[in-house]
Amino acid sequence: GDVAVLVPAAGLGLRLGPGGPKALRLLGGEPLLVHAVRRLALAPSVGCIVVAAPVDGVSSVQDLLAPVAPVLVVPGGATRQASVAFALAAVPAEFDIVLVHDAARALTPPELVEDVAAAVRGGHAAVIPVLPVVDTIKQVSDSGIVVATVDRSSLRAVQTPQGFRRSVLEKAHASATDEHTDDAGMAERIGETVHTVPGSEMALKITRPLDLEIAALLLRQ
């Protein structure tokens, strides 16, 4: 495969409740990170996987993933953005397409990875998977008063993996002055056009306790 995938997995996952780094929480008896990496490795495009692990967990994550797929493991940073930057720095020079994935999207199907990679290969320098927003979204003031109702038809919920021409992702990270929750946001900031492809319900982000229950149901299907 001609694609490298970065997997930031160094977050604490406090919103999931107590129990250690989120990427190492169990889903169907296996850590979320194992599920995520296994599915990435099943995508034919993927030739390199770099995981950013909790700083005190680099060797244990190496041991955990060795039977799953060949991976490089680097220490993560204080923020997701820093963890991505450290992982990006470890990608071998021959990979010109780089995807950024979240360990928390543990059930992301290999097909979605292929769709994103294909869009980058097809000429889009920045690509994100998106889904329509189901809830009505309102902007609310600090005091809890509705400021505006946003037109839902133009809104999309954004998933990972997000795909980039390597040079674009490097430039985005090198130019970032503030903190971003996703990599495409940094590409937008430097003026890149970000292309969308249809996302997947299976790529849900496991953030709160209910998400883990939902993921367990999906896994059993």
- Among left, alpha and beta (phi > 0; psi -120 to 50; other), residue 202 is alpha
| Separation of alpha carbons 151 and 65, rounded Å | 43
CA-CA distances (angstroms) from residue 135 to 149, 155, 207? Answer: 11, 10, 18
Which of the stretches 100-108, 116-124, 145-153, 164-172 binds ligand C5P when contact is defined by CB under 6 A? 100-108
Identified binder of ligand C5P from the candidate list 4, 6, 9, 212, rule CB under 6 A: 9
Identified binder of ligand C5P from the candidate list 27, 37, 61, 103, rule CB under 6 A: 103
CB-nearest residue to ligand C5P: 11
52 binds ligand C5P (CB under 6 A): yes
Which of the stretches 71-79, 113-121, 163-171, 208-216 binds ligand C5P when contact is defined by CB under 6 A? 71-79
Nearer to ligand C5P, 56 or 94 (CB): 56
134-173: burial string, b at 16+ Cβ within 10 Å, e else = eeeeeeeeeeeeeeeeeeeeeeeebbbbbbbbbebbbbbb
22 binds ligand C5P (CB under 6 A): yes
Identified binder of ligand C5P from the candidate list 37, 45, 83, 183, rule CB under 6 A: 83
| Separation of alpha carbons 56 and 61, rounded Å | 10
8 binds ligand C5P (CB under 6 A): yes
Nearer to ligand C5P, 79 or 196 (CB): 79
